[in-house]
Copies of this chain bind each other. A is one copy, B any other.
Amino acid sequence: MKYHLQPIGTKMSEAKKKRSRGRPRSLDRTRILEDAMRLYWHEGPLRLSLNEVCRRLEIAKPGLYREFGGEDGLLAACLDLYWDLYMKRLHDFLSTTDQPFLKQIESVIDAIAGEVSGMATDAGCLSVKMRSERNRLGPIARARVEQLERDNLTSYESWIRRAQSEGTLRVDLDPSTLASYVDAQVFSAFHQKGQGVDGDIIRSNAKLAFSILLLPETGKD
């Protein structure tokens, strides 16, 4: 395994402004990246050889190396795209005040356990799969994963803080601790989804797990 510690695709992008002579680009970076993201999402990162990835993406290997610097850079770019397309939505949703806390929890559970074709298809969640492989990722993708985990926790924590200040969440628990807990539960649900666990089981597990967030007197269901 060889790693490029300096960005590669980006350097090309910033030089894209000027296009003098030379063979014009035919490689569609956007298409490749979207296909790669879906591919890793369904098959799992590091589950396919780079040869096989190139075969499925219908791109020559040197093209992939030139454009992404290798597997590490490609995985990092895929995770970025996944974040932009799916995870940002989730965290944006949690930061809105349109719905009450309880409804938000239900929505999240539905989004994971249901058959909605959002960030959680039958394939599970790409970010969860990336996190599961964190120790085998290259330095670039691993750094992205770690940043994503920090962003996750930050989002959950502010979500919890807001609910506590609104009085819709018990205040006898530390927000940071709860954020870790929520992250672990969301991770677990997505992980089960990716393993093919039945949606009803995932839902009942998640409902139980999130029930600790409810106010003691709201212990109904």
A190-221: CB near B (< 8 Å → 1, else 0) gives 01100110000100110011011000100100
A181: which of B173, B191, B196, B208 is its contact (CB, 8 Å)? Answer: B208
A212: which of B134, B180, B211 is its contact (CB, 8 Å)? Answer: B211
Given A135-B196, A196-B135, A216-B219: A209 in contact with B181 (beta carbons within 8 A):
yes
Given A196-B135, A219-B216: A204 in contact with B180 (beta carbons within 8 A):
yes
Give, as a whole number of angstroms, the nearest-CB distance from A8 to chain B: 28
Most interface-central of A131, A135, A184, A185 (chain B CB within 10 A): A184
A97 interface residue per 8 A CB criterion: no
Rounded to whole angstroms, the CA-CA distance of A84 and B172 in the bound complex is 42
List the B side residues contacting A184 at CB < 8 Å.
188, 192, 205
| A204 in contact with B219 (CB, 8 Å) | no
| A181 in contact with B204 (CB, 8 Å) | yes
List the B side residues contacting A209 at CB < 8 Å.
181, 185, 209, 212
A176-187: CB near B (< 8 Å → 1, else 0) gives 011011001101
Give, as a whole number of angstroms, the nearest-CB distance from A149 to chain B: 10
List the B side residues contacting A196 at CB < 8 Å.
135
A132 interface residue per 8 A CB criterion: yes
A188: which of B135, B188, B208 is its contact (CB, 8 Å)? Answer: B188
| B195 in contact with A180 (CB, 8 Å) | no
Rounded to whole angstroms, the CA-CA distance of A177 and B219 in the bound complex is 18
Given A181-B209, A191-B191, A208-B212; 15 other pairs, CB 8 A cutoff: A132-B195, A135-B196, A173-B208, A177-B204, A177-B208, A178-B208, A180-B201, A180-B204, A180-B205, A181-B208, A184-B188, A185-B188, A187-B188, A188-B188, A216-B219
